[in-house]
Amino acid sequence: MRGLLCWLVLLFLLQPWESQLQLAGPRCHTGPLDLVFVIDSSRSVRPFEFETMRQFLVGLLRGLNVGPNATRVGVIQYSSQVQSVFPLRAFSRREDMERAIRDLVPLAQGTMTGLAIQYAMNVAFKRGRYRQKAAVIVIDGRPQDRVARWRRHRPHVFLVESFDLIQEFGLQFQSRLCAIDYCSFGNHSCQHECVSTPGGPRCHCREGHDLQPDGRSCQVRDLCNGVDHGCEFQCVSEGLSYRCLCPEGRQLQADGKSCDRCREGHVDLVLLVDGSKSVRPQNFELVKRFVNQIVDFLDVSPEGTRVGLVQFSSRVRTEFPLGRYGTAAEVKQAVLAVEYMERGTMTGLALRHMVEHSFSEAQGARPRALNVPRVGLVFTDGRSQDDISVWAARAKEEGIAMYAVGVGKAVEAELREIASEPAELHVSYAPDFGTMTHLLQNLRSSICPEEGISAGTELRSPCECESLVEFQGRTSANPNGLLNRSLAQLTARLEHLENQLANQK
């Protein structure tokens, strides 16, 4: 028969009920429905078990909206034969149906389940062409005839082993058959919304949130992991959208994604990175990430800031010179490609290489006549295995602004000797590789010149006629300012010489 929905309930080890099953909530309101219960009353069903089934049927009836134009109910019992307890059209009132069920006497013979199903299909559902049809077949043991043809209904087979499971079947039966709003009884501890489904109440989260494993609580969806946000530094999810953040001290640009860079002046920057064995491979990767975070706040371009990288261990290797890459993206990609050398720590040799080669015009440094600041940044994690004093002093004599970044077992005295004066502005230290990022803001404010040649200024030789006229104009406009600056520089130089003489004594 087409359009038949069949539930098969297998009853094993049933416990007697002290009270009658009551389905919570409003009665089931359906369209025209014909519902037939097929009950096993064979010899294997003991009297208290049959009474359990009787109460089970009464409880289900009380959850139905019974009537000629709503749900019509029929009951069949079977053993070795089939008996119609009452057909679909016999009663229109629930009370009459309950009375007939309570008066039911079991047949107490064999178990011809296939015969009972065939009777229900051919006789019980003979009329009612335009009505929905459903059968609930209750059996407690193995049939004595064939029921293979009914296997297609297996999604609706329930094994009931206890009172709680019987009640669960009653709820599932009612929810699949009826349009019940479970959420009308409460929100079932849902954090956001309760949704009624055929299987019962389910919790649902508002848009932009994900349901957690407990099935009740909701968590804001991390949109940054699911979209191409394009944030230069950090993406933060906020409800249905996200926003980009910049590191402390840097401002978000008008595009909402990029951060401002060091645009106050041009710089030729050479980074000397310690690649000795003590650094270890995993920490060397952190060093490369740190270098790229420095590159992030620089305005890298052929006319702006140029960046070169030198790695040192027992020997020195130029990874890329100042003039090779013209964008920050190219520099960062080259940094990530650097391979760890893993040997000794010849910091003095690295300083010599920087002074003699890295800041040469052949390596991409701009001519001294253009007055582009030259900056050297030495990154090390331990004591140098060679002397650093000669070439540390030579670097500063050559006008290179030197910065020293130490990590872990780096020696403070060596860091101060490498760095320019005052050491407080040119020396940075982190106890371990994982905490290096807090040094970035200090380096940014130090490396980015507060006064320098802006990105839009044409670089000219100071000996050109236009430059001389501009210099004369500035000095004429503020002669006292120039004199004061010159006196301050001279005083500082004299103090430095006096300190050196005092140390020699």
**Is the pLDDT reported for residue 466 higher than 90?**
no
Query: Is 268-447 assigned to CATH 3.40.1410.10?
Result: no
Q: Are 389 and 395 in contact (CB under 8 A)?
A: no
User: Among 120-124, 175-179, 321-325, 402-406, which is the least confidently predicted range?
Assistant: 175-179
pTM of the predicted structure, to 2 decimals: 0.43
CB-CB contact of 119 with 76 (8 Å):
yes
- Split at pLDDT 50, 70, 90, the class of 249 is low
Q: What does the block give as tokens for 152?
A: 């297609």
- pLDDT for position 131: 66
Q: What is the pLDDT of residues 354-376, one digit of tens each?
A: 999 999 999 999 999 988 899 99
pLDDT at position 483, please?
A: 45
Domains 4-180 and 268-447 share a fold: yes
**Contact criterion met (CB below 8 Å) for 5 and 135:** yes
Mean pLDDT lowest among 3-7, 193-197, 273-277: 3-7
Domain range summary for the chain, segments of one domain joined by +? 4-180, 268-447
Q: Which residues are paired to 193 by β-bridges?
A: 204
The arithmetic mean of pLDDT across residues 321-344, rounded, is: 93
Strand order in the sheet with 132-139: 82-86, 71-78, 33-40, 132-139, 4-11, 157-160
Q: What's 384's DSSP letter?
A: -
3-state helix, strand, coil in the chain (%, to 5): 35, 25, 40
Chosen CATH of 4-180 out of 3.30.1390.20, 1.10.110.30, 3.40.50.300, 3.40.50.410: 3.40.50.410
